[in-house]
Amino acid sequence: MRKSMGKVKTVFICNECGYEHPKWIGKCPKCGNWNSFEECETFIPDSRKKAGAPANSPILLSDQSLPPAGRIVTDISELDRVLGGGIFSASVNLIAGDPGVGKSTLLLQMAGGLSRKGISVLYISAEESFWQIQERARRLKADQLSLPILIETDLDNILSQIEQKKPDVVIIDSIQAIFSQEVSGTSGNISQVRECSSRLFRSAKENGWSLFLVGHITKEGSIAGPKLLEHMVDVVIYFEGDTLYQYRILRSLKNRFGPSHEIGLFVMESEG
């Protein structure tokens, strides 16, 4: 079911670099990979803005009425370092890693720390129940915090909650589990990942909140992995480690706001 007016266009996207082409081609002219193209639906609204929505106006560089760009320090020192000194204003950050490595735990711990400092965080889970998250929060001693947890998979509902709550930081676990009604296919396919992430990124940049997106690494070719996302986001952090040990490595592969290839050694305080 489609909610808004517009049309769906079919394009082919290189899974390795995000290059777009109207027809299927065997070799990507941008990155040189073979057989990397996948059919992808893009939703094109009738007009870029919904009727009645105000258009953006130019802002003077000297404008003092806006909050200054800055960084929010998470107080997880290794994460702050890998981020380049904290979370940059209106940044889009991808946390990629194998399922079960502890991405959700790290981000819940970050959310708890930010919430304690009075920073408004919206934690959105598309994969787990409220009780699973509450149980993890209990282990992290964060279950007494008034941290809003939204269990939702529909992108439109996610965006409208963000619009209402106006958080500073939004966490979505995971990009592969949310879907948009504007394009076809199940969550996790290339059309869905591309459509959901581009609409989230646009909202983050326009409204000034920072996004942390969980991306699972998977070997299945049909799942659009973090590879495609890497080209769209500002910061790419890989979270690696053996699930048997409590040591984890945070590694920034890309950072538009700081040095990339920073490494942080991280000790999980709790399993999960």
Would the CA dihedral through 223, 228, 229, 232 be positive or negative?
Answer: negative
Which of the stretches 21-29, 116-124, 184-192, 246-254 binds Zn ion when contact is defined by CB under 5 A? 21-29
Nearer to Zn ion, 16 or 234 (CB): 16
- Partners of 160 in the beta sheet? none
Residue 17 found at the interface with Zn ion (CB under 5 A): yes
Closest distance to Zn ion from the beta carbon of 219 (Å): 19
Identify which range of 3-11, 19-27, 107-115, 261-269 contacts Zn ion by CB under 5 A: 19-27
Could you tell me the CA-to-CA distances from 161 to 76, 93, 143 in Å, in that order? 27, 20, 22
- Nearer to Zn ion by Cβ, of 28 and 196: the residue is 28
> Residue 103 Cβ, how far from Zn ion at the closest point, in Å?
26
19 forms part of the interface with Zn ion (CB under 5 A): yes
In the complex, the smallest distance separating the C-beta of residue 32 from Zn ion, rounded to whole angstroms, is 7
The interface with Zn ion within residues 116-155 (CB under 5 A) comprises: none
Which residues touch 140 (CB under 8 Å, ≥6 apart)?
A: 105, 108, 109, 112, 269, 270
Q: What is the 3-state secondary structure (H, E, C) of 185-222?
A: CCCCCHHHHHHHHHHHHHHHHHHCCEEEEEEECCCCCC
Report in angstroms how near the CB of residue 37 gets to Zn ion at its nearest. Answer: 8
Q: Which of residues 31-90 bind Zn ion (CB under 5 A)?
A: 31
Number of residues that bind Zn ion (CB under 5 A): 7
Q: What spatial distance separates the first Cα and last Cα of the chain, rounded to whole Å?
A: 36
28 contributes a contact to Zn ion by CB under 5 A: yes
The reply on whether position 30 binds Zn ion by CB under 5 A is: yes
Cα–Cα nearest to 41, from 15, 69, 8? 8
Q: Does the N-terminal peptide bond of residue 187 adopt cis geometry, omega within 30 degrees of 0?
A: no
Of 29 and 70, which CB lies nearer to Zn ion in the complex structure? 29
User: Closest by alpha carbon to 188, among 159, 210, 217?
Assistant: 217
Q: Which residues bind Zn ion (CB under 5 A)?
A: 14, 16-17, 19, 28, 30-31
